[in-house]
Amino acid sequence: MKKKFSKEVIIGITVLASLLILFFGIDYLKGINVFKAANYYYVSYTNVSGLTVSSPVTVNGFKVGLVRDIQYEYDNPGHVLVELSLDKQLKVPHGTEALITTDMLGTATVVLNMNDTTSFHNVGDKLIGKTPAGLMDNISSQLMPIMPKIDSLLTAVNTLASDPALLNSVRRLDNITANLETSSALLSKMMNNMSPTLNNVEQISSNLNKITNDLNAVTAELKEMPIDETMNNVYTTTENVKTLTNKLNSPNSSLGLLLNDDALYKNMSSTMSNLDSLFIDIKKNPKRYISIKLL
């Protein structure tokens, strides 16, 4: 059977297909959809820092296209021509500005600032290009006036840091901190040693509370006792003792005579002495006083 294609034709077709795949693959990786209909517009800038092919083009934060190509304008020195690929449905009014904005990471985006008109650009027209100051530029412009003050402040800080008095103060602070740590340790140890004392104080306080409760109970009992009656009895007893004492001291009473008459005392003493002699004699001579007769 005769072959329909030669080896050279097959190789050529393969190479062509590979080139096509490579071409479309590169565009696809760049975010360019070659199968999607798009309109092309051009913008001239004096500075495209951060802008690259396939950078997004947005309107009100919504992506409506991308940067298709970037070329230097050799016939217009100092300018760069940027080709924008926009959605085919997007109509660009006259007076629309294409602004390049850069975020903090340095990534640039083309932002279309649409003009409010009823007339529109034709495909392939050149739009107004502007490059406003980026975020870092704004920060730099705001920081520039205060840079001398910052430099003076840093100089003052360096002077203060190199001052020996400051170093001595830091050392004194270190010593004070060390002393505070030592004092804290001693205080902690003292508190531990005071724990038994505190326990004793608590026990004493408990005992005092108990004594107070007992005193309260005694006070309550005393309140319930008939104090008036008791005081009357004591008064009566005192009067009786006083009367008895008066009688004992009076020479007119029998007890007074007995206690105060010396003669009576002497007679009683003599009588007791005679009785004692009589008892002694009875012991010695019982027969004299007792006679026993036998029948």
pLDDT of residue 256: 63
pLDDT of residue 295: 47
pLDDT of residue 294: 47
Distances (CA, A) of 293 to 281, 286, 289, 290: 22, 14, 13, 10
pLDDT of residue 82: 93
Q: How do the residues of the chain divide into helix, strand and coil, expressed in percent and rounded to 5?
A: 55, 15, 25
pLDDT of residue 33: 54
**Per the structure block, which two tokens stand in for 241?**
């003792």
pLDDT of residue 24: 59
> Residue 125: what are its φ and ψ, rounded to 5°?
-70, 160
Instruction: Indicate the helix (H) or strand (E) that contains 262.
Output: helix 262-284
- Name every residue whose Cβ is closer than 8 Å to that of residue 140 and which is 6 or more positions away in sequence: none
Every domain of the chain and the residues it spans: 1-30, 36-131, 163-225, 226-280
The secondary structure of 232-256 as a DSSP string is: HHHHHHHHHHHHHHHHHH-TTSHHH
Per-residue pLDDT of the chain (295 residues; tens, 9 = 90+): 445 567 777 777 777 777 777 665 665 555 555 545 578 999 999 988 888 888 899 999 899 999 989 999 999 999 999 999 998 889 999 999 999 988 777 788 999 999 888 899 999 899 999 887 654 555 566 666 777 777 777 787 777 667 777 777 777 888 888 888 888 888 888 777 776 776 777 778 788 888 888 888 877 776 776 767 777 777 788 888 877 777 767 666 666 666 666 666 677 777 888 788 877 877 787 777 666 554 4
Max CA distance (Å), the chain: 203
pLDDT of residue 229: 74
Q: What is d(CA 255, CA 268) in angstroms, rounded to the nearest whole number?
A: 14
Supply the Cα-derived Rg of the chain in whole angstroms: 66
**Per the structure block, which two tokens stand in for 3?**
């072959």
Q: Is there a contact between 101 and 134 (Cβ–Cβ < 8 Å)?
A: yes
Beta bridge partners, 58, equal: 63, 111
> First vs last Cα of the chain: how many Å apart?
201
Q: Is there a contact between 112 and 59 (Cβ–Cβ < 8 Å)?
A: yes
